[in-house]
Amino acid sequence: MNARSVLSNVWVIIPALDEESSIGLVLGHLPPVGRVIVVDNGSSDATAAIAKRHGADVVSEPRRGYGAACLRGLEEVWNEETAAPEIVAFVDADFSDHPDELPSIVEPIFEGEADFVLGTRLRGHRESGAMPPQSVFGNALACWLMRLLWKAEYTDLGPFRAIEIEALKSLGMSDTNFGWTVEMQIRVVQQGLRVREVPVHYRRRVGVSKISWTVLGTLKAGTKILYLIGKYGILELFRKRSINTQPEAPTPKNQ
């Protein structure tokens, strides 16, 4: 894959909330792509100004929530009529991901081998202390439940991911906060899309964690993730039961 030529067909969405100490690092290590959209999720620091200085398009989403920020970024994608991307990628603004690994994330899609690619931290190399034990356990539990309910072969809910544009449109994403990542992965499986996991590096984030290293954030995120898995699991059960209980069509009588 000629990374430089094909990455022009990739747009990257970066949700950001008070990440002035890291957003410049993320943008500085991100390979040149078609467009970078930093969604300022109500920052009170210089996140937006620094992102603009690094050449990103900055849009505002005052509604707090990771999913709300991602949805606002997607509005920019859907509003593009003349030069829409082939692939949309998502990366965090805290520099815990390695943005320079983007080519390996999008390659399976460009090669026609996948519709959705997830950067898995649990199969890659994690810097010591990058993920607290509760995050490792929570990710493993969520993936086990998705495997139980949908035979999904995920190992992580990692934020570094990419998806083909038409596949993304088919998902109908809606979650506005902690459930965004797991909602996407459930809907990908339900749509029967081709999934590939790529091991990625993961380091300690720059700045203060808002979720993983806080008790309240961990509880909120964990509750929402389990709620969504349960919700979609129940809906799937009812759908299958409805199909199984539909009356058979009567056999036509011989004329």
Residue 253 lies in a domain: no
Tokens standing for residue 186: 């459930």
Residue 218 lies in a domain: yes
Local confidence pLDDT in tens for the 255 residues of the chain: 555 568 999 999 999 999 999 999 999 999 999 999 999 999 999 999 999 999 999 999 999 999 999 999 999 999 987 888 999 999 999 999 999 999 999 999 999 999 999 999 999 999 998 998 888 999 999 999 999 999 999 999 999 999 999 999 999 999 999 899 999 999 999 999 999 999 999 999 997 766 554 656 677 778 888 889 998 888 877 766 666 665 565 555 554
Question: Can you point out the beta strands (E) in the chain?
Answer: 10-16, 35-40, 57-60, 87-90, 116-120, 161-164, 195-199
Strands 35-40 and 195-199: unpaired
The count of domains in the chain is 1
Residue 83 lies in a domain: yes
CATH number of 61's domain: 3.90.550.10
SS3 content of the chain, % helix, strand, coil (to 5): 45, 15, 40
Residue 188 lies in a domain: yes
Residue 252 lies in a domain: no
Residue 249 lies in a domain: no
Residue 203 lies in a domain: yes
Q: Which domain holds residue 92?
A: 3-241
Q: What predicted TM-score, i.e. pTM, was given to this entire model?
A: 0.88
